[in-house]
Amino acid sequence: MMKKWKWLLQVLAILAIVVWVVPDCFAETIPSSDRMVVPVVIKMDDGTGSNGVTGLVAPNEVLLPVSAITKYINTDVIFEAVEKRVYLYIGQVEFKLENSALDERLGDGIMLNFIPCEIKGISYLNVKGLEKVLGIKITQGANGSIVIEKESYSGKQLNVGRDKWHAVDKINLVWDYVNTGSENLDKETKIDGLNVISPTWFSLATSDGLILSKADAKYVSDAHHKGYKVWALASNSFDCDMTHQLLIDERAQEKFINQLLVYSSLYNLDGINVDFENIYDDDKGRLTQFVEKLTAVLHQQGIVVSMDVTVPSNSPFWSTCYDRQKLGATVDYIMVMTYDEYWARSPKSGPVASIGWVETGIKKMLAEVPNEKLVMGVPFYTRQWEEGDSGRAKSKTMSMAMVQTLIKDRNLDVVWLDDKGLNYVEYYNDGSRYRIWIEDEKSIGLKLDLVDKYNLAGVASWRKGFEDHAMWEVLNAGLKKHSYNLVASSLNSK
């Protein structure tokens, strides 16, 4: 009981911090055309059933009203109306993870959270895939109804251990930025050549290790159906103070790791992509130790662990905080963010990723990280810079389509800059000069040549939705051209 009260106090504390995280899917939406309204029968322990409950069903979705879940299914489920989030504290964990050592980690219980969506004023949660943590069984009833019954999962595994993954081709990963609710991959055409997708689902919310989750079981199922591996991104919210508190608190670290363990198993993830940025240099060693601990535990599930780092430089908080050599020896892959050469708040204008700067960054990385573990970052975006009387440049991030529209609307002359490996345009408006170093098919093609030149593991692109359609053809063709068979080398390394 004391643990439950402590949990409730934690939720209230979180609420004060993260009320700004309001899901887009929580806005008034129109149900997907393939969702059907069906009656729901919730059978209670005493044999009685609920009346008047309706839900929505679709492939990989069983949407139940949150009010029905809290009333009939699990009284430990709490819906925070202001935060728009569902919390579930499991004090006594009945389900099992991939092995007994991992099970022992959950002796103190686990707190999970989920994002509901609001449809016509009713808050729904997709319970498909959550059966084992909610303790329910879902079956088809009479007249198209859905029947929900209590089910004990004592001793039953959430998931089985995954086989060790070996990349057969170059890694072609794209980060999928999830502001709130995930996109419906089922409605998208399969992207040829894409083999890994990394939704930005997990973020550190409090210094004691709580993770806010945006994970979506349907998204994973749809991704797997298209042949994509899912390496969910886990970030530190780029908060150096909160990260410091995490890194000096063993208990907080265990809590963070245990949540990732359960989420990885629950959602059938293939990998975790660690994105910890803006870190005190004094925490450099602590960060390395934490990643070592996290990787060792996730590897017991067969999870692929990757980590994002910046190009080596003398920049505190953003570069000198990484021990790239030790991190490279620990995780399966290192994604070097070879973009933001001139970052969003740079006082001077310049390209996102000129070819010379990218290659120099790759060379520096290879001095510390093996080539077969190094994945090169690729930008799907560019920046428009405004240079006015203040002497300080201001930037605006633009997708590839936005740039092409601007060029067409203003009838701009595009000039190729051989020394930058980029196309370039500029124009004047209201006394200001506007400059754009363009990322496009030609510039990305040049960068892909570096993958072959240095025999890198592949590319990771930021981010899905900023590219034009032709970019996938460039990536697919370029990586196939430079692809090498990793199976033989993997077998030799065993």
- Residue 445 and residue 239: Cα distance in Å, rounded? 35
**pLDDT given for residue 166 in this prediction:** 84
Q: With a cut of 50, say whether residue 204 has pLDDT above it.
A: yes
**pLDDT given for residue 12 in this prediction:** 54
**pLDDT given for residue 217 in this prediction:** 96
Give the lowest-confidence range in 35-49, 56-70, 217-231, 286-300. Answer: 35-49
**pLDDT given for residue 391 in this prediction:** 87
Q: With a cut of 60, say whether residue 282 has pLDDT above it.
A: yes
**pLDDT given for residue 489 in this prediction:** 44
- Residue 406 and residue 413: Cα distance in Å, rounded? 11
**pLDDT given for residue 18 in this prediction:** 44
- Over the stretch 327-384, which tens digit does the pLDDT of each residue have? 999 999 999 999 999 999 999 999 999 999 999 999 999 999 999 999 999 999 999 9
Sheet with 61-65: list strands edge to edge.
Answer: 117-119, 122-126, 61-65, 53-58, 36-43, 146-150, 136-140
- Over the stretch 436-481, which tens digit does the pLDDT of each residue have? 999 999 999 999 999 999 999 999 999 999 999 999 999 999 999 7
Q: With a cut of 70, say whether residue 252 has pLDDT above it.
A: yes
Q: With a cut of 90, say whether residue 242 has pLDDT above it.
A: yes
**pLDDT given for residue 138 in this prediction:** 96
Question: Across the chain, what does the average pLDDT equal?
Answer: 91
- The three-class DSSP label of residue 140 is strand
**pLDDT given for residue 143 in this prediction:** 87
Sheet with 422-429: list strands edge to edge.
Answer: 394-399, 381-387, 432-438, 422-429, 415-417
What average pLDDT does the segment 315-331 reach?
98
- Over the stretch 104-141, which tens digit does the pLDDT of each residue have? 999 999 999 999 999 999 999 999 999 999 999 999 99
- Residue 298 and residue 271: Cα distance in Å, rounded? 9
**pLDDT given for residue 28 in this prediction:** 33
Higher per-residue confidence, 298 vs 34: 298
What average pLDDT does the segment 221-240 reach?
98
- Structural tokens at position 76: 């430990």
Residues 6 or more apart in contact with residue 363 via CB below 8 angstroms: 454
Which pLDDT band, with edges at 50, 70 and 90, does 180 fall under? confident
Q: What is the set of domains in the chain, with CATH numbers?
A: 2-150 (no CATH), 159-337 (3.20.20.80)
Percent of the chain residues topping a pLDDT of 70? 90
- Over the stretch 41-65, which tens digit does the pLDDT of each residue have? 998 776 666 778 999 999 999 999 9
CA-based nearest residue to 373, from 436, 266, 492, 456 = 456
**pLDDT given for residue 34 in this prediction:** 81
- Over the stretch 411-433, which tens digit does the pLDDT of each residue have? 999 999 999 999 999 999 999 99
CB 356 within 8 A of CB 311: no
Burial class of 345 by CB neighbour count within 10 A (0 to 12, 13 to 18, 19+):
exposed
Q: With a cut of 50, say whether residue 22 has pLDDT above it.
A: no
**pLDDT given for residue 29 in this prediction:** 37
Which DSSP category does 283 fall into?
Answer: G
What average pLDDT does the segment 175-189 reach?
94
Q: With a cut of 70, say whether residue 32 has pLDDT above it.
A: no
Using omega within 30 degrees of 0 as the cis cutoff, is the peptide bond preceding 463 cis? yes
- Residue 158 and residue 153: Cα distance in Å, rounded? 9
